Structure 1
Amino acid sequence: MADLLVAYLEQMGVEYVFGIPGGAIEPLYNALARSERRGSIRHVLARHEAGAASMADGYARETGKIGVCIATSGPGATNLITAAATAYDNNVPLLMVTGQPALPHFGRHPLQESSCTGINVLGMFRHCTRYNSLVSHAKQFEPKLVQALQHATRTPRGPVHLAVPVDVFRQPAMVETPSYDLSNLLRPSSLVDDDAVEALRDKLAQARKVVLLVGGGCGEAIHSILQFAGLKGATFVTTPDGKGLVSPQHPLFRGVFGFGGHQSADDALTDPSVDMILAIGASMGEWNTGGWSNSLMNARMVHIDESEDNLARTPMASLHMRGSIRAIFNRLVERIHDIRIGTEVPVEKRSATRDLAAIKFDPDSILAAPHAFTSDAAPIKPQRLMRELSKMFPPTTRFLADTGNSVAWATHYLQPQDRRMGERRLGGGERKRVPGQRTSHGGWLRVTMNFAAMGWAIGGAVGTAMANPSVPVVCITGDGSLLMNGQEISVAVAERLNCIFVVLNDRALGMVKHGQRLAGAERVGCDMPPTDFAMLARALGADGYTIKSPADLEALDMDAILTRNGPTLLDVHIDGDEVPPMNARMRVLAANQ
């Protein structure tokens, strides 16, 4: 039966499975070994099961495919749970397969039992998966697997879990080859409510000034959304998880709204002349609404999303639209084009609406502390570090910002050069992908909202690099996160991945420290002893450099780092007194006192 599971993964084009072996999952490892000998799926050995799930998360965000991670029974399964919850809250499709002892041994205290008669992992996974089931007979396996894959890939997407006893895994499958054609069965829906689109068109026609809020769920639709913004002359802001989908130099961009965001984004939303806010593909949690700020959460909002759960969080919106975001904006773009052709809008006027280069926008103008952004001080200001990271890497780089101060600094100050402003599709509609169009589903910056587990980005960077080894992958993490999950650097060494791990070393749990300071609380439980992370990286087999000033960054041989067949760690000693942009978080904490 394990070979049938592998056959389905091969059918889906999955290239890697991330995990750690054990006795209860051994039949699946045997099947993976046979697949690898055929030149198909390869197993990637993680150092901890949470790291394996984070790698699968990074792989899924980069490829748009489902990420797959596997673990043995008992602690192998429970170690997956935090990463599963992170994927659940961020709508990342994962297939998690765990082993179980043989069915006849249930309830007899076999080694690492985690069935309903032992440490019940199914009960644990119930609240952080879209589908969760024990396969107790070979006849159940194929239909349960297909159901799990459907739940993982339909909206809202997320992780699914199958627990399979070792004796069931060893049974022959009821069929030798897959019965289902998953390419058809899992094809995403492009359904659009035509009446809702017409209602939106009417509201747009009456609106004097429109601002767009681009959320993390806009990945597949971002080209049409940017074209719509250009045709309408509408400025846009993004959520923290939507920032990586757009160019920071786009002339219509007005910053990030929410955690780590910019005052310019708040100003764009509260402009009295704005009478419509199009909120698109945003989960409407604390971090991507500025703590549910009235700047966004008001009756001027039209909320567009594929998820009913997200739409349910905005009862104040004047219109809700559920459907394929890409299909909706393709319709809107086509409609604008048809109207302009039909009414014979003068060519010079039509051209002016698309001449984005004529709009002057300085991305540095929206920063909270521009003096720190250019400071030569040592230890290096974290703002200056983000400036240098933006310049050091090519436009194809994938950045992952870890939970904590890392995501705050990256969200506000990271702005790599990117000349791509969206597709130039005068007629709109569905078109084939052309050279230069983004193919990644995750954008240039990946962050995790809501559940926000520390250390997620370390494994996520490894999975991203496995999925796309042709581009640099930069993980921006903190010293606290690295001490939690830094062992996964060893996987990047073993796989010879060009990952760059940038550690913000302030000898503290930085967000805790600054949160306590800003709240007037006691300083407790946040300080850590000095750690030489560059030496630690070298001990694991990676290159390691200690960075204390901007001059140390400039002295790096970036050509060597970017062409190295292996990871590099930059142990960056930052100014720990610099307060990250976390005012939205502090407002929420203060309101709950």
Structure 2
Amino acid sequence: PGLTNTLTAMAQARADSVPMLVISGVNRRASLGKGLGLLHELPDQARMVAALCPTERIEDPAEVGPALDRAFARLTSGRPGPVHIEVPTDVMPLPCPELAAPAVQAEVAMPPESTLTTALARLETARRVVILAGGGARRAGDAVQRLAEALDAPVVLTTNARGLMHGHPLAVPGSASLDAVRAVIAGADQVLALGTELGPTDYDMYVRGGFPDLSKMIRVDVCADQLKRHACAVAIQGDAAAVAAWFAARVRPRQAEGETRAASARAAARGELATLHPAMPRQLAMVEAIRDTLPGAIIVGDSTQPVYAANLFYDHDRAGGWFNAATGYGALGFGPGAAVGAAVAAPGVPVVCLIGDGGLQFSPGELRTAVDERLPISFVVWNNAGFREIAEAMSGAGVEVIGCTPSPLKMEPFAAACDLPFQSVAEEPAALAAALRMPQDGPRMIEVRVLT
């Protein structure tokens, strides 16, 4: 059950290109596939996991070192994701030989210079370049900025790239599902896509079609399979940071009204939110209040309304510091566990988990983990007393709204049961900011009472 409980998190890691090593047990070797009714038995555990990610079984202690080397090679090369190793219960107690030093992991090779030169020639002749930066470029901020400035090119940031070029006049921190962002892309005579899978949750969230033709784009991705999935003029398998730096060092600087194009896209995209839902500007203001009150914070989002609004348009101030489940596998309850991981991985950095009252009930145990580890996480709970986003979607589709109004969770007693300091504030940016400024010693819960 531990492994099956973990499968959803593994699916989320796969969608988000997050390296994740999962080591699980499995029944004794002689029993596998026999259907003997053993505790935790599955017909074929390895086959179940293999549908999701690479998996292998250690049947001899001598295989431990090589299996770990293979796992880390997969985790650090190509597109990251989950890797699974299972150990039968009768192998676990066997003596294990001393492990050798970990194998040296190969660096991602630079693409052939001929391919890079072909792409460079297209960039040189283009007059209005637009860069699409995805999650694969989130650690390439300096290189992407230098390249964008040389090309005078707007940079459209997907959800997982937010935080790159914060406040820069060429940055467009908006979803390509918005008409305003699509317009700036359509106005380009050359598109350069860096580390983005071009998935519909970023590029066609509302399933309307009509996305600008990208068949002439230059596409850079570390994953060969990704490069096969969309037509392009030049496909470059390589690290986004290294390739962007190579282009930036060679491309001819030019003036192309990039800042004007980007500013127009930003203004129109922000204005477009109100046409999608009248509450979205208010929701975005709450997210911006978190950013402005806790500069450089990591904001981990669950699937909840203000996260959806900010995924459409929001300029975060820390590269890699805005991430959530909503554009990946989309699991409710993702936020608390991911926030715990972020707080452990980045000590001293403020961490905020932005989650709805519905999503919170999927993973309450992670709140206790945060308490036990005294992690400085602010759990900001967007309390609309139900599954309002789902209810609105059902209503909009002309479907009878059912199952969306469970009896509301009493937040203050719930927080007390978890030993979490608690505050409740109105849906007002100033009120949330005041709560976040309060002294903090360990995790806390801040309820936002959503306006109806």
Q: TM-score of the superposition, structure 2-length normalised?
A: 0.89
Q: Does 1:221 align with 2:140?
A: yes
C-alpha distance 471-537 of structure 1, shift in aligned 2 (>3 A): same
Deviations 1:64-85 (A, max 9, x none): xxxxxxxxxxx11211111111
Give 2:58's aligned amino acid: V
Shift of 1:355: 12
Given the alignment, which residue of 127, 135, 142 partners 2:58?
135
Matched with 1:495 is: 373
How many aligned residue pairs are there?
Answer: 444
Map 1:256-275 onto structure 2 (within 5 A): 256-258=174-176, 262-271=178-187, 274-275=188-189
| Alignment partner, residue 254 of structure 1 | 172
Q: Distance in 2 between matches of 1:257 and 1:559?
A: 30
Q: Which residue of 2 aligns with 1:207?
A: 126
CA distance in 2, matches of 1:569, 1:548: 14
Query: Contact between 1:493 and 1:542, CA under 8 Å: does it hold in 2?
Result: yes
Contact 2:178 2:272 in 1 (8 A): no
Q: 2:320 aligns with which of 398, 421, 443?
A: 443
Aligned residue identity for 2:243: I
Cα drift, residue 487 of structure 1: 2.3
Segments of structure 2 that go 5 or more residues without pairing to the other structure are none
Q: Once the two structures are superposed, what CA deviation does each residue of 1:239-281 show, in whole Å capped at 9, x if it has no partner?
A: 122223331x2101233224xx54431221122xx21111111
Report if the CA contact (8 A) 1:151-1:160 is conserved: yes
**What amino acid is aligned across from residue 495 of structure 1 in structure 2?**
E
1:84 and 2:10 correspond: yes
Rounded to whole Å, the distance in 1 between the matches of 2:429 and 2:270 is: 23
8 A contact 1:254–1:268 mirrored in 2: no
- Tell me the CA shift for residue 323 of structure 1: 1.3
Which amino acid in 2 is paired with 1:270?
A: A
Which aligned pairs between 1:537-548 and structure 2 lie closer than 5 A? 537-548=415-426
Question: In structure 2, how many angstroms separate the alpha carbons of the residues matched to 1:137 and 1:149?
Answer: 19
Task: Tell me the alpha carbon deviations over residues 102-140 of structure 1, each in whole angstroms, 9 at most, x when there is no partner.
Answer: 4355547475243xxx443212211111x2112112232
Task: Name the residue aligned to 2:246.
Answer: 331
Between 231-240 and 449-458, the greater mean CA deviation after superposition: 449-458
Q: Is the 8 A contact 1:492 1:499 kept in 2?
A: yes
SS at match of 1:256: coil
Q: What does 1:120-519 align with in structure 2 at a 5 Å threshold?
A: 120-129=44-53, 131-173=54-96, 175-176=97-98, 178-182=99-103, 184=104, 186-247=105-166, 249-258=167-176, 262-271=178-187, 274-291=188-205, 293-315=209-231, 317-336=232-251, 366-368=269-271, 381-394=282-295, 396-416=296-316, 418=317, 443-448=320-325, 449-519=327-397
Q: What's 1:112 paired with?
A: 39
Q: TM-score, normalised by structure 1?
A: 0.69
Q: Specify the SS of the correspondent of 1:469.
A: coil
Judge conservation of contact 2:335–2:353 (CA < 8 Å) in 1. Answer: yes
Q: Secondary structure at the match of 1:553?
A: helix
Query: How far apart in 1 are the matches of 2:287 and 2:432?
Result: 13
Provide the C-alpha distance between the structure 1 equivalents of 2:315 and 2:407, rounded to a whole number of angstroms. 32
**1:320 to partner: Cα distance:** 1.4
Asked if the contact 1:214/1:239 (under 8 Å) is kept, the reply is yes
User: Amino acid of the residue matched to residue 264 of structure 1?
Assistant: A
Query: Partners of 2:212 and 2:374 in 1: how far apart?
Result: 45
Inter-CA distance 412–355: structure 2 relative to 1 (3 Å threshold): closer
Say which SS state the counterpart of residue 21 (structure 2) adopts: strand
Partner residue, 1:530: 408
Q: Contact conserved, 2:181 with 2:265, CA < 8 A, in 1? A: no
> Is the contact between residue 282 and residue 288 of structure 1 (CA under 8 Å) also seen in structure 2?
no
Aligned to 1:49: none
Distance 2:225 2:429 in 1: 48
For residues 92 and 558 of structure 1, what CA distance do their matches in structure 2 show? 29
Give the secondary-structure state (helix, strand or coil) at the position aligned to 2:173.
Answer: strand
What's the CA shift for 1:300? 3.6
Specify which structure has the bigger relative contact order, considering alpha-carbon pairs within 8 angstroms and separated by 6 or more residues.
1
**What's the secondary structure of 1:287's corresponding residue?**
helix
Change (3 A) 1:97 1:506: same
Matches of 2:183 and 2:259 in 1, distance apart? Answer: 21
Q: Classify the secondary structure of the residue corresponding to 1:167.
A: coil
Q: How does 1:9-20 map to 2 (within 5 A)?
A: none
Question: 2:203 is paired with a residue of what secondary structure?
Answer: coil
Question: What's the CA shift for 1:532?
Answer: 2.1
* In 2: Cα distance, 1:360 partner to 1:353 partner: 13
1:569 maps to a residue whose letter is M
| CA–CA distance in structure 2, aligned partners of residues 511 and 474 of structure 1 | 21
Please give the per-residue CA displacement for 1:484-541, whole angstroms capped at 9, x wherever unaligned: 1122111111110110111111122233222222222221222222222233122101
> Helix, strand or coil for the counterpart of 1:279?
strand
When residues 413 and 285 of structure 1 are mapped into structure 2, their CA distance, relative to the original with a 3 A threshold, is: closer
CA distance in 1, matches of 2:155, 2:86: 44
Give the Å deviation of 1:470. Answer: 0.4
Inter-partner Cα distance in structure 1 for 2:28 and 2:226: 41
Which letter does structure 2 place at the counterpart of 1:572? Answer: V
1:36 paired residue number: none
Specify every segment of 5 or more residues in structure 1 that has no aligned partner in the other structure, as ranges.
Answer: 1-74, 341-349, 419-437, 577-593
Identity %: 25
For residues 295 and 371 of structure 1, the distance between their equivalents in structure 2, rounded to whole angstroms, comes to: 21
Give distance in 2, aligned partners of 1:168 and 1:527: 49
In structure 2, give the amino acid aligned to 1:444.
Answer: G
Q: Which one-letter code corresponds to 1:250 in the other structure?
A: H
Give distance in 1, aligned partners of 2:130 and 2:429. 41
Deviation at 1:333?
1.3
TM-align CA RMSD: 3.0
Deviation at 1:369, TM superposition (A): 6.4
